[in-house]
Structure 1
Amino acid sequence: MASASAVKKIRKKKVFPTDDDVAEALAEYTFNLSKKFYEERDYFTVVISGGDLTFWLRKLLDTKYDDKIEWSKWHIFWVDERVVPLDDEDSNYKQALDRFLSHTKVSIPIANIYTIDQDCAALGDAKGAAILYEECIKKLVNQNIIRTYKSSGFPQFDLQLLGMGPDGHMASLFPGRYQINEKASLVTYITNSTTKPPPKRITFTLPVINCASYNLMAVCGEAQTDAVAKVFKNDFTLPSARLTADTEAIWYLDQAAASELPIGL
């Protein structure tokens, strides 16, 4: 686990008046990094989560980005996924598809959108889904679509867009669960998520999350106020407090979510 001083050094934050302002800034941040990476290496690997984030990504459909985004260079992954059929309303993929990915402006090739295995999803096989998603990531590393992090061998995604729950969880890494301490696997699974349904999920492990070049954690609303305050006091019992990145880990907060932050944090 990273020390408090190390995490605090790499963690940044920006506070915006409203969640709409957060969404605007998140879109601009994503656009700028997409341009940077596909100019550097011809690919942009972006990892997304569920929840409000898939609504906020619709800001990339604004006319100011028309003809400026090279969608064909994008490769989309999920930091975690509910192990339900891909057409289930609880599926993070389904939510992203309905809210963002299916829009006519978003011309990402289907082959560049990496869902969990369809058969495992239909059967509710969380372990199998985790194994196959890890195999998919390793294959893309071998194809040089995903980079590796220095000498560790862990995959290094260009950008991850994350959210946090009121209990301080990120991805499907929940407080007090052993998955937060997994250091060998790229992907792990959970079968009894009692904190938040559905119970079966897969998730990237913390080393994979923290190897990303850029991690943007977007949090809005009063429900997360207490957890945000604990994170910025370095309460490492909260998985989100352990978030770092290779280049930048930044938090985008609206005024409501940041309302209990002490002055100076």
Structure 2
Amino acid sequence: MTKLPSLYAFPDSSTLQQNLYQYILQAQSDALARHPKFKIAVSGGSLPKLLASPVLLASRDIHWGKWEIFFADERAVPLTDPDSNYALLKQELLDKIPKTASEPTVHPIDPEMLSDTQDLADAYEKALIGSFAAKDSVKLPIFDLLLLGCGPDGHTCSLFPGHGLLREEDAWVAAIEDSPKPPPRRITLTLPVVTHALKIAFVATGAGKKEVMRKIFDTHPEAEGGEVLPCALVNLGAGDKVSWFCDQAAVEGVSFSKKSSL
């Protein structure tokens, strides 16, 4: 039997941030016991702001200089564009890292490739190959941690419900030209790469998420031949490697077993 993900429900954003910090700290510790770098990928939305908690930014236990940060998905826009996930992470987190700390290694998209989304995806995949397969051939990269969001439609990264990209099995990074959410042109990690990570943390907050959270955790359309939402596909594919960090409002009415602390 596949082991199940962990669903954490916290009373407020401060408690959520504190627990997310402890989770990230443990993921960092586990990673640096294995290799010199802590390799993570992050998505956009509200995640960077939640990630940049005062406790994380002030912590002496976070070894920023050993972090290697990739983007779980990115929009085909300039790095200074308001729609850029890099710009969002820079504003909410990277620019707030103490000046006394060593800087993390960050891998943005190549802005010279913006005119062709497939070229942009190919270039980003080469960046991943350079980091994860510089010496050996590997089928998939193994991220130490993915920090992901969940859209109200159940999408994560730029993997949308019912989209053909959900069936991609070979590419590490895929181009999407017809995103249901603007901007339409993006690149994204593929589902096999996401589920291959060692740890996957979703953050979902607010009452606007409760309906989709019920669908992700309490309905099982795969048993009836129906559509499985991308976030649910990650749960199914990665099992107990997945942890969900939510507030009470986001999981109201969800019957799946919830935890209140790590």
The TM-score bracket by the shorter chain reads: 0.7 to 0.9
2:143 counterpart residue number: 157
The aligned counterpart of 2:71 is 78
Equivalent of 2:39 in 36, 40, 45: 45
User: Does residue 221 in structure 1 map to residue 214 in structure 2?
Assistant: no
Equivalent position to 2:196, from 211, 221, 230: 211
1:88 equivalent in structure 2: 81
- What's the TM-score, normalizing by structure 2? 0.88
Distance 1:131 1:200, change over 3 A: same
Q: Residue 257 of structure 1: CA displacement? A: 0.7
Partner of 2:94: 101
Alpha-carbon shift at residue 61 of structure 1 (Å): 5.1
Alignment of 1:114-263 (within 5 A): 114-121=107-114, 123=115, 125-143=116-134, 153-193=139-179, 195-233=180-218, 234-235=220-221, 237-243=228-234, 244-245=237-238, 248-262=241-255
> Structure 1 unaligned runs (5+)?
none
Q: Percent identity, please.
A: 32
Q: How much has 1:264 moved relative to structure 2?
A: 4.4
Matching residue's letter, 1:42 = P
SS of residue in 2 equivalent to 1:240: helix
Distance 1:174 1:76 in 2: 23
- 1:126 Cα shift? 1.4
Q: For the structure 1 residues 60 and 36, does the alpha-carbon distance in structure 2 shift closer, same or farther, using more than 3 Å as the test?
A: farther
CA 1:60–1:207: 2 relative to 1, 3 Å: farther
Q: TM-score, normalised by structure 1?
A: 0.87
In structure 2, distance between residues paired with 1:133 and 1:240: 23
Kindly report the root-mean-square deviation, in angstroms, between the aligned alpha carbons of the 2 structures.
2.2
Cα distance in 1 between the residues matched to 2:142 and 2:256: 34
8 Å Cα contact 2:56/2:62 also seen in 1: no
